[in-house]
Amino acid sequence: MKVFPPEKIRNVALVGHSGSGKTSLAEALLFHAGAISRIGTVEAGNTVMDYDPEEHERGTTITMALAPFEWQGHKINLIDTPGYADYAGELHAALRVTDLAIFVVDGVDGVEVQTEYAWRLAEELSVPRMIFVNKLDKERSSFTKTVAQLRDRFGAGIAPVEIPVGREMDFRGVADLFRDKAYVYNSGKPEVTDMPEEMMDREQELRDNLVEGIVIGDDDMLERYLDGDAPSIEELEHTMAIGVAAATVFPVVCGSATEKIGVDRLADFIVALAPSPADRPPTIVTVGDQQVEIEADPSGDPLAFVFKTLADPYVGQISLLKVLSGTLKPETNLMSGRSGQNERLAKIATMFGNETTLVDSAPAGDIVAVAKLIDTKTGDTLAPKGTPVTVAPIDWPEPVLATAIVARTQSDDDKLSTALHRILEEDASLRLERSRETNQTLLFGLGESHVQTAIDKLERKFGVKVDQEKVKVPYRETISRSADAEGRHKKQSGGSGQFGVCHLRLRPVNRGEGFTFVDKVKGGSIPKQYIPAVEKGVIETMNQGGAHGFPVVDIEVTVDDGKYHSVDSSEIAFKLAARAGFRTAFEQAAPIVLEPVSRVAITVPSAYQGDVMGDIASRRGAVQGTTTADNGSQVVEALIPSSEIIRYAIDLRSLTQGWGRYTTAFDHYQELPSHLVARAMADADD
């Protein structure tokens, strides 16, 4: 593929709900452009974009994929994104580098959960948007109803530039409101005709509305229009393109990806209405302690942003990057702004699904791939040596569902750390934690499928098998009253003996204060050199667990008396005496179990607020308050015991038909009700 200047590049992402037809639309676009000779299907698992075995197995897009094609003298970098909530991290990455998000909306089901999620995200990032209403050949499809729903959800900026010719099984083409022409398709090829008579009145009304909506954004054009001077098609498209670039106007086109109706028209509109990288606002980068605006200028200093990393077990790491400035060429040397690592871009390639094609150069605005960088991760910025430059990091969705993983064999354990590192490089929306309290390795994801996909990749890509365990809750213990006891260790079996006695007082402290050790020994009843051994014995016993087996916290321990022997006393003797004394006093101090409590912020449509609040109560939670988000959703703040929300990502999705989302963070510890202690102990032993 030849090199295109920024003005001739269009970076486009297909986004929307799972099942809306994004991958089918990508196939149809590539076919019409001559980039592929046949159209694959998601069901057959032979599409360009869904090349991963996990995608074939699940029948859905899991990771973003890139495929460039040429259309009308332009290069279109097409990015297909997942539409399932579990893989939303891919959407976050794609929208950081795209210059137009095309929302693929099912003409039967209308605006669905992930469509709205993607719209709000694109809105936050000020990404220009266009809508393709798909599947208009299906029974119960309705373009009119879908457009009304789009306007209701996303405002008056929704602007149809096409309407369907025919409906449902009779859907056969599209009418262009700019040109007053109909495009009727036969085997994917359009025949340009005059507007069908039965559509003329409706089409004229919509065209008038479209033209008036466009000219109102240009004072000179509006004045001419009011004087009876109708603007040309080129003027209308140019003015609309300005509104699209400003993310204030959202053109709506329509068709059927599987029947190849309206697909070529979509490509036309991408060229005519979508902004190029040169039309977008400058990228703000941080250089040292200053912020600088960077234009998409091919003659500037080379600068690139890594938005995706692919972990290939044979090729190694492949970094997908967008060129923000300058022109990248093979053997270019750049530096990672995060690590300071000097990186040699030995070869530069374009990605077409999972295939690579080497290129001689990549100008500002283009998207390319580079293999085998040493220490560059997703979100890193590559700049000339000696110039530490960083771009704002990608705002990843918070992973909320955890599973505990353990290597199946010793061989798997030897390879697990490296394999997990590679998996996390590929998917930055995963998170790995090692719980010191429960001694578990926890893999966090956005949902059950997200976590399972990562585990499947561990085995398929890196040959590492793991088993999943139930996530254990880090319960703790403390005391509810003061107590004291004497600890004694005495052993005499020939030779030097062991002797140590210490008197300990235990007192509860405020929740969260931790552990305090106090030395009040007087008169030398315990020599100073043995006091640290007493403290060490207490700490070791606390860590091993109290009466119920959980680590002990929030307690003050005072040693105030004891006995020693000039020959038989030793550090080990006093440590063992302290352990015995602590256990005895602890049992007398009315021990209680503490459970962690999480602060949870749940965002749901108003219709589900009551159900969510009732569910919180059933989980022993307490609602702390509610607020209304900018989009009208309700945000419910609550404190819920952590043990009650281990699988909350799954439960909330079911409770709210997929609309609910939440974030969670540890807040505090509280006493576990006595009737639940036995269950907590059983869970800890599993």
| DSSP 3-state percent helix, strand, coil across the chain (nearest 5) | 30, 35, 35
Give me the amino acid identity at 403: T
Average pLDDT over residues 482-488: 96
Report helix, strand or coil for 553: coil
In this structure, are 312 and 432 located in the same domain? no
Beta strands in 135-200 (DSSP E): 158-160, 162-165, 173-176, 181-186, 189-194
State mean pLDDT over 231-241: 91
Q: How many Cβ atoms are within 10 Å of 133's Cβ, its own excluded?
A: 28
Please state the rounded mean pLDDT for residues 629-639: 91
Residue 1 lies in a domain: no
Q: Which CATH number is 427's domain given?
A: 3.30.70.870
pLDDT of residue 43 exceeding 90? no
259 and 323 belong to one structural domain: no
Q: Which of 244, 278, 312 is the last residue of a domain?
A: 278
Rg of the Cα trace of the chain?
Answer: 32
pLDDT at 34 over 70: yes
Based on the domain organization, do 113 and 163 belong to the same domain? yes
User: Where residue 495 falls among pLDDT bands split at 50, 70, 90?
Assistant: low
Backbone phi, psi, residue 114, to 5°: -70, -20
pLDDT at 312: 77
Instruction: Identify whether 347 is part of a domain.
Output: yes
For residue 448, give both structure tokens.
């059950």
Question: 162 with 28, same domain?
Answer: yes
- Give the domain CATH number at 510: 3.30.230.10
One domain, residues 188 and 292: no
Query: Tens of pLDDT along 261-288?
Result: 999 999 999 999 999 999 999 999 999 8
Residues 448 and 482 in one domain: no
User: Tens digit of pLDDT for each residue in 410-424?
Assistant: 999 999 999 999 999
Locate 114 and state its tokens.
Answer: 């992930």
Q: Provide the token pair at 133.
A: 């209403």
463 C-beta neighbours (distance < 10 Å), count: 12
CATH number at residue 376: 2.40.30.10
- Answer yes or no: is 649 within a domain: yes
User: Could you tell me if 22 and 96 lie in one domain?
Assistant: yes
Name the E strands within 42-128. Answer: 65-71, 74-80, 100-106
Whether 559 is in a domain gets the answer yes
Burial of 356 (0-12, 13-18, 19+ CB in 10 A): middle
Residue 336 Cα distances to 102, 283, 301, 383, angstroms:
32, 17, 15, 7
In Å, what is the CA distance from 319 to each residue of 101, 349, 580, 582? 22, 10, 58, 56
Contacts of the segment 232-235: beta carbons below 8 A, 24+ positions apart:
233/178, 233/179
The Cα 296–Cα 298 span in angstroms is 7
Neighbouring C-beta atoms of residue 192, cutoff 10 Å: 11
Name the pLDDT band for 314 (thresholds 50, 70, 90): confident
Helix (H) or strand (E) holding 119: helix 113-124
Average pLDDT, the chain: 94
**Where in the sequence is the domain holding 665, given as residue range(s)?**
594-685
Q: What is the pLDDT of residues 184-226, one digit of tens each?
A: 999 889 999 999 888 988 889 999 899 888 888 788 888 888 8
Residue 637 maps to which CATH number? 3.30.70.240
27/39 Cα distance (integer angstroms): 6
| 193 shares its domain with 102 | yes
> Does residue 377 share a domain with residue 271?
no
Name the domain boundary from 469, 493, 509: 469
Q: What is the reported pLDDT for 165?
A: 96
pTM for this predicted structure: 0.91
Helices (H), 155-251: 200-215, 219-226, 233-245
Amino acid letter, 489: H
How many domains would you assign to the chain? 5
Q: Which of 532, 557, 589 is the last residue of a domain?
A: 589
Asked if 318 and 355 sit in the same domain, the reply is: yes
Q: What is the pLDDT of residue 494?
A: 62
Contact 80, 49 (CB under 8 A): yes
CATH classification at residue 125: 3.40.50.300
Q: Are residues 194 and 102 in the same domain?
A: yes
pLDDT of residue 605: 93
Q: What is the pLDDT of residues 334-392, one digit of tens each?
A: 999 999 999 999 999 999 999 999 999 999 999 999 999 999 999 999 999 987 899 99
Is position 204 within any domain? yes
Instruction: Report yes or no on 396 lying in a domain.
Output: no
Those residues with Cβ within 8 angstroms of residue 575's Cβ, 6 or more apart along the chain or in another chain = 500, 533, 534, 536, 537, 540
Is 503 a domain residue?
A: yes
Strand duo 290-294 + 283-287: pairing: antiparallel
Residue 382 covered by a domain: yes
Instruction: Assess whether pLDDT exceeds 90 at residue 684.
Output: no
Torsion of CA 374, 376, 378, 380, to 10 degrees: -170
Share of the chain above pLDDT 70, in %: 99
CB atoms within 10 A of CB 405: 22
Q: Do 676 and 542 fall into the same domain?
A: no
